[in-house]
Amino acid sequence: MNSKKKTVFSGIQPSGVITLGNYLGAIKNWVKMQDDYNCIFFLANMHAITVRQDPKNLEENTLKAYALLLACGINSEKSLFFIQSLAGETHSQLAWILNCYTQFGELSRMTQFKDKSQQHPENINAGLFTYPCLMAADILLYQPDLIPTGKDQKQHVELTRNIAERFNGIYGETFKIPEPFILSEGASIRSLVDPSKKMSKSDKNENACITILDPKDTIIKKFKRAVTDSEAKVYLSDDKPGINNLMTIYSCFTGMGFAQIEKEFSDKGYGAFKLAVGETVADALQPIQDKYHKLLSDETFLKFLYTESSQKAKDISQFTLDEVKRKIGLCM
Ligand code: ATP
Ligand code: LTN
């Protein structure tokens, strides 16, 4: 690690196949940051169990997500890329400690908790409630400067800052205070079925999201069916959330500005626009899919990579955990 560079830290839950929202809101930016920052990325599989998971699926999805992120361009020679449960001792110990420095009221205000409680009324477990404390532990263990995520995670990063400042205020400088880092383009890709909701990999309606592994014809079909409006004119407007979303996606992949997109489609209807978006996205994802299938065929190599990097993560995070335990008087 280069000590002059700032440290970036972020993660994703291996709770299903990674979506276009995850890719544009987070992963694509992580890939770009690898040359300019010391980067640490991880798969938050301990977070994923806040929602009931089939054990076999969770294990398989974790391995697949590892391969998929590598295929998207996370480079294990440039960045540390690990699996949370393999460094679980440090993460869970700090999470417990931070639970004791976080208020019930603060956790009650988290929108992700409110959303997920509504989606899973039969399983509003304590882990779902204290999830942000585990996330704060993930982050603070590695003393990072920047946390690049989609917009939906900003509230959790802000809570992390508050917890860290509170702890530092009581025990003296212990944690670096991290900054949320949210790039505006792609920060919140919307569901194709209901643009008032974010695109989410755990959405039950498969037409709501494009996954990175969808074949070309599926991608085109999903975009064709995307909910828009009845005006049939491509331009950016607050009351056209479906079209705004498609324009954002098209812009992220082509690099074109919104005015340019409006011009290109000024005399074309939604059919032509949706087809162009579908083809552009499918063509951009093809090389990622090819690389993914190649990586997944060598499980031994993948296991070697994540075991080695998770051990490194454990060693790095142990430093912070030891300092915290010493400061609060826990025998070691
Ligand atoms: P789940 O449905 O299991 O909650 P998710 O699809 O919301 O999953 P996460 O694992 O929570 O994905 O998020 C991984 C990263 O992707 C985070 O940085 C998050 O901010 C970002 N992200 C998730 N959904 C979107 C979206 N629709 N648009 C932009 N970024 C997103
Ligand atoms: N809560 C995040 C995943 C996550 C994370 C983190 C992101 C867990 N720990 C630490 C950044 C930093 C999510 O649901 N996307």
Q: What is the C-alpha separation between 331 and 231, in angstroms, rounded? A: 67
Question: Minimum-distance ligand to the CA of 29?
Answer: 1
Q: Which atom in ligand 1 lies closest to the alpha carbon of residue 148?
A: 18
Entry pTM: 0.92
Got the DSSP string for 45-92?
A: HHHHTTS---HHHHHHHHHHHHHHHHHHT--TTTSEEEEGGGGHHHHH
Q: What is the C-alpha separation between 103 and 128, in angstroms, rounded? A: 15
Smallest CA separation from ligand 2 atom 11, residue: 10
CA-closest candidate to residue 313, choices 39, 26, 27: 39
pLDDT digits (tens, 9 = 90+) for 48-68: 999 999 999 999 999 999 999
Phi, psi angle pair for 178, to nearest 5°: -85, 155
Mapping DSSP to helix (H, G, I), strand (E, B) and coil, where does residue 181 land?
A: strand
CA atoms within 13 A on the CB side of 306: 23
**For 209-228, b where at least 16 C-beta lie within 10 A, e where not — what string?**
bbbbbbeeebbbebbeebbb
Q: What domains can be seen in the chain, in order of their start residue?
A: 7-188+299-328 (3.40.50.620), 206-292 (1.10.240.10)
Residues of the chain above pLDDT 70, percent: 99
Residue given tokens 């992220």 in the structure block: 252
For 173, which DSSP code? S
Q: What is the C-alpha separation between 151 and 242, in angstroms, rounded? A: 18
Question: Minimum-distance ligand to the CA of 15?
Answer: 1
Extract the tokens encoding 237: 């407007």
The yes-or-no answer on residue 116 being catalytic is yes
Torsion of CA 204, 206, 207, 211, to 10 degrees: 120
Q: What is the C-alpha separation between 156 and 106, in angstroms, rounded? A: 10
pLDDT confidence band for 105 (50 / 70 / 90)? very high
Of these residues, 28, 32, 64, 116, which one is catalytic? 116
pLDDT of residue 16: 77
pLDDT of residue 2: 64
- Cβ within 8 Å of residue 234, ≥6 positions away: 243, 247, 261, 262, 265, 266, 268, 270, 273
pLDDT of residue 83: 98
pLDDT digits (tens, 9 = 90+) for 107-122: 999 999 999 999 889 9
Ligand 2, residues at Cβ distance < 6 Å: 9-13, 44, 47, 135, 138-139, 147, 149, 153, 156
Q: What is the C-alpha separation between 332 and 321, in angstroms, rounded? A: 11
CA-closest candidate to residue 22, choices 295, 288, 303: 288
Q: What radius of gyration, in Å, describes the C-alpha atoms of the chain? A: 21
Mapping DSSP to helix (H, G, I), strand (E, B) and coil, where does residue 40 land?
A: strand
Give 254 Cα–ligand 1 centroid separation in angstroms. 22
Is the pLDDT at 186 greater than 90, yes or no? no
Give 137 Cα–ligand 2 centroid separation in angstroms. 10
CA-closest candidate to residue 79, choices 132, 27, 141: 27
Smallest CA separation from ligand 2 atom 15, residue: 12
CA-closest candidate to residue 313, choices 16, 88, 78: 88
Q: What is the C-alpha separation between 131 and 133, in angstroms, rounded? A: 5
pLDDT confidence band for 281 (50 / 70 / 90)? very high
For 120, which DSSP code? -
Give 22 Cα–ligand 1 centroid separation in angstroms. 5
Class of residue 122 by CB neighbours under 10 A (exposed 0-12, middle 13-18, buried 19+)? exposed
pLDDT of residue 150: 86
